[in-house]
């Protein structure tokens, strides 16, 4: 029997409070309104950005259904939706692409003004929610919310992909892979023969390493305080790895020593800490070095740094979703994956049933996993 037009009761993991485990609840998911799409989620990764909400580092309105790195099948569409139809395989887009705003129209832009990242409201674009639980509205997470069997997104925040693609792998194209890989090839535009340093070797950092390698970097230095991340980093393209805890001097000086006093051409902060953001900046060449902030800064944090670091010519940039325009790029990235232009398997260390979501978060927090993919 078709569920179109009806409220769907299903399981979801609800974040009721910060610093508490998610709770698997039965929730109600309203039908999509005009220009909205209801998706049956079949696979979702656990990204550090979800954990930043639980830890309190990323402030959003609660209660909320988290999750944003996912893939699924369209269950039904609201009035006026033409970009997808029921049965289509799709990836939700945490960075939407409306096609009309200043960023969407600019060739260099990708952060659509419809995003819910910079000042999260946790609502659909019309200002309301599609989820309820025990009589309470649940907020949506960055235009997506994938820790649920069904979600509703705006049509600007979903894109159709190749139906042959394995959803339990390509869900990573919804965030971690595309973010890290794009930071290297798209935001930094790493050049052949260059030297790179990647701070943070989680799912996103390893994807940045892959991007540096694909761009032809000749040296890729992985930096992490958890040395158990090194073998995987070397496997996906790092040429060497360093642990800042092994040195008395600041890691930027260590990287200068390793590069004959020059600093690296490109550095990437893929941790989400202000101290590593300035360390990554200080690690790149004083004149033409480019440093990219990929890690999500803690809410309301500030950085003070010596402006001489920039005065001498360095470039400091940020990168959301790897600089990709999401609707245009996600289907192409899925095709590239199907064409074996890059791999995702090394990033997926664990696959768990959705109900074990809190175990998946524990694996991330204890540094034992790269990506856990939850299946439904």
Positions touching Zn ion (CB under 5 A) are 47, 49, 98, 101, 104, 112, 175
Nearest-approach distance from CB 169 to ligand PAD, in angstroms: 16
**If phi over 0 gives left and psi between -120 and 50 gives alpha, with beta otherwise, what is residue 283?**
alpha
What's the first-to-final CA gap in the chain, in angstroms? 20
The CB-side HSE value for 102 (13 A sphere, CA atoms) comes to 1
Burial of residue 359 (CB within 10 Å: 0-12, 13-18, 19+) is middle
Contact status, residue 136 vs residue 365, Cβ threshold 8 Å? no
- Residue closer to ligand PAD (CB basis): 52 or 89: 52
The entry of Zn ion, ligand PAD, none that residue 101 binds, CB within 5 to 8 Å by partner kind: Zn ion
| Catalytic site residue from 47, 98, 171, 284 | 47
251-258 and 274-283 helices, crossing angle to 10°: 30
| Catalytic site residue from 10, 35, 68, 139 | 68
The CB-side HSE value for 299 (13 A sphere, CA atoms) comes to 15
- Residue closer to ligand PAD (CB basis): 88 or 224: 224
10 is catalytic: no
Q: Pull the structure tokens for residue 254.
A: 């260590």
| Catalytic site residue from 98, 129, 171, 175 | 175
- Helix, strand or coil for residue 161? coil
The entry of Zn ion, ligand PAD, none that residue 367 binds, CB within 5 to 8 Å by partner kind: ligand PAD
Residues that bind ligand PAD (CB under 6 A): 47-49, 52, 175-176, 179, 199-205, 223-226, 229, 244, 270-273, 276, 294-296, 319-321, 364, 367
The entry of ligand PAD, Zn ion, none that residue 272 binds, CB within 5 to 8 Å by partner kind: ligand PAD
- Residue closer to Zn ion (CB basis): 75 or 116: 116
284 is catalytic: no
- Residue closer to Zn ion (CB basis): 133 or 352: 352
| Catalytic site residue from 52, 139, 140, 154 | 52
Please, where are the H alpha helices in 31-129? 48-55, 102-105
- Residue closer to ligand PAD (CB basis): 239 or 349: 349
Q: Pull the structure tokens for residue 303.
A: 């950085």
The entry of ligand PAD, Zn ion, none that residue 270 binds, CB within 5 to 8 Å by partner kind: ligand PAD
350 is catalytic: no
Nearest-approach distance from CB 167 to ligand PAD, in angstroms: 19
Contact status, residue 90 vs residue 159, Cβ threshold 8 Å? yes
- Residue closer to ligand PAD (CB basis): 30 or 270: 270
Dist CA 186 CA 235 (whole Å): 22
68 is catalytic: yes
49 is catalytic: yes
Q: Pull the structure tokens for residue 295.
A: 């890690």
DSSP lists the bridge partners of residue 325 as none
Report CA dihedral (70, 53, 51, 235) to the nearest 10 degrees. Answer: 70
Nearest-approach distance from CB 344 to ligand PAD, in angstroms: 14
- Residue closer to ligand PAD (CB basis): 146 or 319: 319
Using Cβ positions, the residue closest to ligand PAD within the complex turns out to be 202
Nearest-approach distance from CB 220 to Zn ion, in angstroms: 22
The entry of ligand PAD, Zn ion, none that residue 158 binds, CB within 5 to 8 Å by partner kind: none
Nearest-approach distance from CB 128 to ligand PAD, in angstroms: 26
Nearest-approach distance from CB 365 to Zn ion, in angstroms: 15
Nearest-approach distance from CB 85 to ligand PAD, in angstroms: 29
Largest CA distance in the chain: 68
Please, where are the H alpha helices in 35-175? 48-55, 102-105, 167-170
Q: Pull the structure tokens for residue 316.
A: 């400091």
Dist CA 336 CA 268 (whole Å): 24
Dist CA 273 CA 278 (whole Å): 9
The entry of ligand PAD, Zn ion, none that residue 294 binds, CB within 5 to 8 Å by partner kind: ligand PAD
Which residues are catalytic, by number? 47, 49, 52, 68, 175
């Amino acid at each position: 029997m078709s569920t179109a037009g009806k409220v769907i009761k299903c399981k979801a993991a609800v974040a009721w409070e910060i610093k508490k485990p998610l709770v698997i609840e039965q929730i109600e998911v309203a039908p999509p309104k005009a220009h909205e799409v209801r998706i049956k989620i079949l696979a979702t990764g656990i990204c550090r950005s979800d954990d930043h909400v639980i830890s309190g580092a990323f402030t959003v309105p609660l209660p909320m259904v988290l999750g944003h790195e996912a893939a699924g099948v369209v269950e039904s569409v609201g009035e006026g939706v033409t970009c997808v139809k029921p049965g289509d395989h799709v990836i939700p887009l945490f960075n939407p692409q409306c096609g009309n705003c200043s960023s969407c129209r600019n060739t260099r832009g990708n952060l659509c003004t419809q995003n819910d990242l910079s000042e999260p409201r946790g609502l659909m674009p019309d200002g309301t929610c599609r989820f309820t639980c025990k009589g309470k509205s649940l907020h949506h997470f960055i235009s997506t919310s994938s820790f649920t069997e069904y979600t509703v997104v705006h049509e600007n925040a979903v894109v159709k992909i190749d139906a042959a693609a394995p959803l339990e792998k390509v869900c990573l194209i919804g965030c971690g892979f595309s973010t890290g890989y794009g930071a290297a090839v798209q935001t930094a535009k790493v050049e052949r023969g260059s030297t790179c340093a990647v701070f943070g070797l989680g799912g996103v950092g390893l994807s940045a390493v892959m991007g540096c390698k694909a761009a032809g970097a000749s040296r890729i230095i992985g930096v992490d305080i958890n040395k158990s991340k090194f073998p995987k980093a070397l496997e996906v393209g790092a040429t060497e790895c360093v642990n800042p805890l092994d040195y008395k001097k600041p890691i930027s000086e260590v990287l200068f020593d390793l590069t004959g006093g020059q600093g690296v051409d490109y550095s990437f902060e893929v941790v989400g800490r202000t101290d590593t953001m300035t360390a990554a900046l200080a690690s790149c060449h004083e004149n033409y070095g480019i440093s990219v902030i990929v890690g999500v800064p803690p809410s309301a944090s500030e950085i003070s740094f010596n402006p001489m670091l920039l005065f001498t010519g360095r470039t400091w940039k940020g990168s959301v979703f790897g600089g990709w325009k999401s609707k245009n790029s996600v289907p192409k990235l899925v095709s590239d994956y199907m064409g074996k232009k890059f791999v995702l398997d090394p990033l997926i260390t664990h696959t768990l049933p959705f109900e074990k979501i809190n175990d998946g978060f524990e694996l991330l927090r204890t540094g034992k996993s790269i990506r856990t993919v939850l299946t439904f």
